[in-house]
Chain A
Amino acid sequence: MRNLIVMPAYNEEEALPRTVAALDRLPDGFEVLVVNDGSTDGTGAIASRLKCRIPVHVLHLPVNSGIGVAVQTGYRFAASRGGYEYVIQFDADGQHDPEAIVALVERCRRDGLDLCVGSRFLDPNGGGFRSTALRRVGIRFFAALISVLSGTRVTDPTSGLRCAGPLAWRRFAEHYPEDFPEPESLFWCARNGLRVGELPVTMFERQGGVSSIRRLRTAYYMAKVTMAIVFDRLRSQELTTS
């Protein structure tokens, strides 16, 4: 069984080659899938020429569809090709540490987790770049909301570094939130009895491009994700894990 790293990329021509090159040190059994989300810069052309020791696949979404749709396309790729055990979401902008990938998979395997999130806030001394103060307030709010409504303690629900086991990613391939999907999908897993865990990771400041969460959209982001989580709580159990 192989593991797939899904790397959504929207206008990341600057950071993408370095981010993929940094995956060189991964052990055998890992493959990377770059999902070019309808980029308007050279991301598509660069992605097609990427060279790495591990196999690189590239998908081109013909129109910009948003992070949720891009990541879901990765899960659908894993489902349609088959032979994958864990699917890891990994940002193209160089924020995430490649070392964490193996650690996340090992943690999932050891503890039988269905979803393991890389958290910046678990290690009181580490964590590296922990986002801006205002954004940390939002993250803490979502962490509290998810913890209270699902009974599962989480610290970094917006983290885009996560490892999903078959139970989680096969469901994500069918249903996945379109925009700002991380907190909502994490909540879905927790409330449907999937085993969810976190692993301390270090993150870096992004190397290029702009964060997909711009200031003007913050209010919409907070309202949409809060509403989505509260509404999801009202749904009945959608997965029986027996």
Chain B
Amino acid sequence: MNAETLMTIGGVAAFGITLHWVRRRELREKYAVGWVALASLLLVVGVFPDLLMIFAERTHLSYPAAVLFIALTLIYLFAFAVSVSLTTQYRRNVRLTQELALLEERLRRLEAATSVSRSESTKLDSRESA
């Protein structure tokens, strides 16, 4: 098996995984766009390996260390973006959890107040009818 076949298989797999998760509604289309783009890139490079060679020569990225450095940089940036987005999500979760607890307490208080006033008004009604 050579690198081209591997990349083609990887591209097909990436397509499959992305589609599967979007179908199950466990991956938002917003994020799927990026992953589909990556799958497409893998596929194109797998089918037309010459493109990769031309790119490597033009950018002088023909030695492994440089490629590794670029790949790690991309992974770093992506993971960092995920951390930042998790922080936003966390903050929203906290705010929602707190609001829920505050509203629930308010509702309990209101219910207690209305049940008291309702039982009082029932007493009045029965007295009036008597």
Binding site for B on A (CB under 8 A): 35, 57-63, 65, 69, 72-73, 76-77, 80, 178
The docked-state distance in angstroms from the alpha carbon of A35 to that of B97 is 12
A76–B98 CB distance below 8 A? yes
Q: Which residue of A lies closest to B105 (CB)?
A: A59
The docked-state distance in angstroms from the alpha carbon of A58 to that of B108 is 10
A80–B102 CB distance below 8 A? yes
Q: Which residue of B lies closest to A58 (CB)?
A: B105
Q: How far is the CB of A54 from chain B (nearest CB, A)?
A: 17
B97–A63 CB distance below 8 A? yes
**Given B90, B94, B105, which contacts A57 in the complex, CB threshold below 8 Å?**
B105
Chain B residues contacting A35 (CB-CB under 8 Å) are: 101
Q: Which residue of B lies closest to A80 (CB)?
A: B102
Known: A57-B105, A77-B105. A62 touches B94 (CB 8 A): no
The docked-state distance in angstroms from the alpha carbon of A63 to that of B101 is 10
By DSSP majority rule, is chain A's interface helix, strand, loop, or mixed?
A: mixed
Total inter-chain residue pairs, C-beta < 8 Å: 35
The docked-state distance in angstroms from the alpha carbon of A82 to that of B101 is 17
Chain B residues contacting A76 (CB-CB under 8 Å) are: 98, 102
Chain A residues contacting B98 (CB-CB under 8 Å) are: 61, 69, 72-73, 76
- Contacts of B90-109 to chain A: CB distance below 8 A: 90, 94, 97-98, 100-102, 104-105
Interface centre among B98, B100, B104 (most CB of A within 10 A): B98
24 A-B residue pairs with CB within 8 Å:
A58-B105, A59-B101, A59-B105, A60-B104, A60-B105, A61-B100, A62-B97, A62-B100, A62-B101, A63-B97, A65-B97, A69-B94, A69-B97, A72-B98, A73-B98, A73-B101, A73-B102, A76-B98, A76-B102, A77-B102, A77-B105, A80-B102, A178-B90, A178-B94
Chain A residues contacting B105 (CB-CB under 8 Å) are: 57-60, 77
The docked-state distance in angstroms from the alpha carbon of A55 to that of B122 is 28
The docked-state distance in angstroms from the alpha carbon of A73 to that of B105 is 12
The docked-state distance in angstroms from the alpha carbon of A202 to that of B56 is 70
Q: Which residue of A lies closest to B90 (CB)?
A: A178
The docked-state distance in angstroms from the alpha carbon of A178 to that of B90 is 10
The docked-state distance in angstroms from the alpha carbon of A65 to that of B98 is 9
Chain A residues contacting B94 (CB-CB under 8 Å) are: 65, 69, 72, 178
Q: How far is the CB of A211 from chain B (nearest CB, A)?
A: 23
Chain A residues contacting B100 (CB-CB under 8 Å) are: 61-62
Q: Which residue of A lies closest to B96 (CB)?
A: A62
The docked-state distance in angstroms from the alpha carbon of A218 to that of B94 is 24
Q: A60-B101, A63-B97, A178-B94 are in contact. List 16 more A-B contacts (CB 8 A).
A: A35-B101, A58-B105, A59-B101, A59-B104, A59-B105, A61-B97, A61-B100, A62-B97, A62-B100, A62-B101, A73-B98, A73-B102, A76-B98, A76-B102, A80-B102, A178-B90
